[in-house]
Structure 1
Amino acid sequence: MERSRLEQRLRQLDEDIAQKQQARGLLAALLGEGSLRAWHQQTNQLAPDAHLDWLRQQGFNEKQALHLKWLSKDMNAHEQYMADFMTVFQNLEHWGPGTDDDSLKALLSLPTEPQSIIDIGCGKGFSTRLLGQHTNAQIVAVDNEQSALDELGERLAEQQLGSRVTLSCASMTELPFSASSFDCVWSEGSAYIMGVEQALTQWRPLLTENGCMVLSDLVWLTDNPSPEALAFWQQEYPDMQRVPKRLAQMRQAGFKVIDHFTLSEQAWLNYYQPLKARVAQLKSSLPDSAAIADIEREITIYERYLSEFAYHMFVLQKGA
C-alpha cells in the first residue's frame, strides 16, 4: 500500500478518535462526571440559537437556560452557581453599567417623545423610572427575574409612577405583545443575552411605523485588544463587535441610526465599585464559589483593560 494512503488512513483514524473522545466527554459530563463548560462555550459560539434550544430540551425553563447560556456555562454546577450569583447581585442597585445622564442623552435624541415604551430586560428599573419621570408614556417593564420586578414595583409606588408602568415577568425571546404595540423599544445592557442581531429582528415588529429603538451594548474600542482581555470576552461574550460592525448590522436589520455614543466612565463606576465591595464582603463565606471567582475575574479585566472596550448606546428608528 502506498505511503500516502497509509498517512491518509492514519489522519482519518486520529479524527475518528478525537470525535469519539469529545462524545465521551460530553456523555460523562451529562452524567455528572465532568464539566460542561467547554462544550457550552464552543456550542454557543458556533450555533447560539441551537444552544439555547438544546438547553430548553433538557428541561430548563427559558430563564434558567438564558442564565446558564451566559453565566455559569456548566449545567452540572448550575444550581449552586446561580444561587451564589444572586446572593452577590440581589442587594446591588445596579445590575449593569449605566447613568441617568447617558440614558437622558439617548432619550433627548429621539425625534419625538414616545407615548408607549417597552423596557426590555429592565432589571431593578433604573431606566424604567427615568423614562417614567421624563416622559408621559405608558410603559411596560419586562424582566424574567420576579424579585427585581417586585423591588421596581415598590420604587414606582413611592414615586407615584405605578399608574403608568405595567410590570411583566416574561422572556425577552418570547415577548407576549402584538405587533406595532409600542413606539419605543428600550433595552440597556441586555440585548446581548439573546444576541443583538436576533434582538433587532425579533423586537422590530413590536414598533409602530417610524418607531424607535434604544439599546446599549458592549463593544471593542480597538482592533488589537490585549490577549487576556480578548480571551475573557471571547468566552463571556463571543459576539462582541466594533461599533462600525454593529451599525452595519442595525442598518441591515431595517433601522436608521439617529445617534450613537460611548457611555461615560461613571457608568462603569456605578456598577463595578459596589460589585467589588459586595464580593469582598461575601468571599470569606463563599470561599469555593465558582460564581465569585468568575465575578472577580471580570472585575480584574475591567480594571486592567477598560480602555479597550466600552458600553455603547445606539438610538435607532424603524425604516420602511
Structure 2
Amino acid sequence: MLKNYLKEKREFIDNSIKEYLEELKYPPVIAEGMKYAVLNGGKRLRPILLLMTLELLGEDEEKGIPAAVAIEMIHSYSLVHDDLPALDDDDYRRGKLTTHKKYGEAQGILIGDALLTHAFNVITSENQKVASDKIVDIVRLTSQYAGVNGMIGGQMVDIESEGKNIDLPVLQYIHTHKTGKMITLPVEIACIIAGAEAKKKEKLIEYSELIGLAFQIKDDILDIEGDFEKIGKPVGSDTDLEKSTYPSIFGMKKTKEILAEKITAAKEIICSEFQSEKVKLFTDLADYIQNREK
C-alpha cells in the first residue's frame, strides 16, 4: 500500500515542481540548474508527508501543493549547499554529479540561493485556495524552520562540532534542527491549512518529531553500512569529517535499538489519536524510515 502511494505521490509532486519551474528560462544556467537540483531523484518524503497529513485531516490536498513544492525546493537548496567544497565536498548526490560539480561552484551557490528564494514566491503566489492569514502563518513557520532556529542552526552546530567529542544533547540539537524541523514543517503546514484541532495537531507534531529524529539516526547508520549503488553518494563521509553521530557515541547495536524505540513511539502516538484507515500510511511510513536502504 505505502509503496504504491509513495510512487503515485512522488510522480504527482514531480509534475507539480516541473509546472512551477517551467516558466523559468533566464539566466539559462540558473533555470536549468534549479530543475536539475530539484528533479535529480529523491524520495519526496517531506511534500508527501504534507499531502498525507491533509488527507488524514479530511482536507483537500490541492490546497497543500504550493507549500509541498516549496518545501522540496528548500530541501533541495540545502543539499546543493551541503555538497559544496566548503561543507561536505561531495561529488555525487542521488547517484549523479552534485550541482556544483555539474555547473561550477559559484553557479551552485547561486542555484541554491535561487531555489530558497523562489520557494517563498511559490508559497505566496500560487496559493489561491488558502486564506491570506494562513499563508502568512505558513511563510512565518517555513522561514523559522528553514533558518537560524531550524535547519541552518542545526547545520552550523554540526559544522562547529566536527573533530570534537560532543555530548548527546548537542547531537540531539543537531539532528532535531538540521533534519527534524524540515520534517515537522510539512505536518504543521497541513495543520494550518486544515485548521486542525489542538489535540490532533499536538499528536501529529510529536509523531513528526520522532520520525524526523529516526530519519537522521538511520542516515547515520547508512553512512557506515550503506551501499553507494543504493544511497547514491559515498559512504563514510561522516567519519572522514570526524562528525559525532549516534553510532560513534553509542555503537551500532545500541543505535539500532534507539532507532527502533523512536519508530515504535511514533506509531503508538499516531494510533492513539487517529482511528481512520489512513493512519496506516503513517505507521507504514515509520517502518519505511527504519528499514530504508537509501
Shared fold by TM > 0.5? no
Say which one has the larger Rg.
Answer: 1
Q: Hey, which of these two has a bigger chunk of helix by percent?
A: 2
Could you say which structure has the higher strand fraction?
1
Q: What TM-score results when the alignment is normalised by the length of structure 1?
A: 0.28
TM-score, L = length of structure 2: 0.30
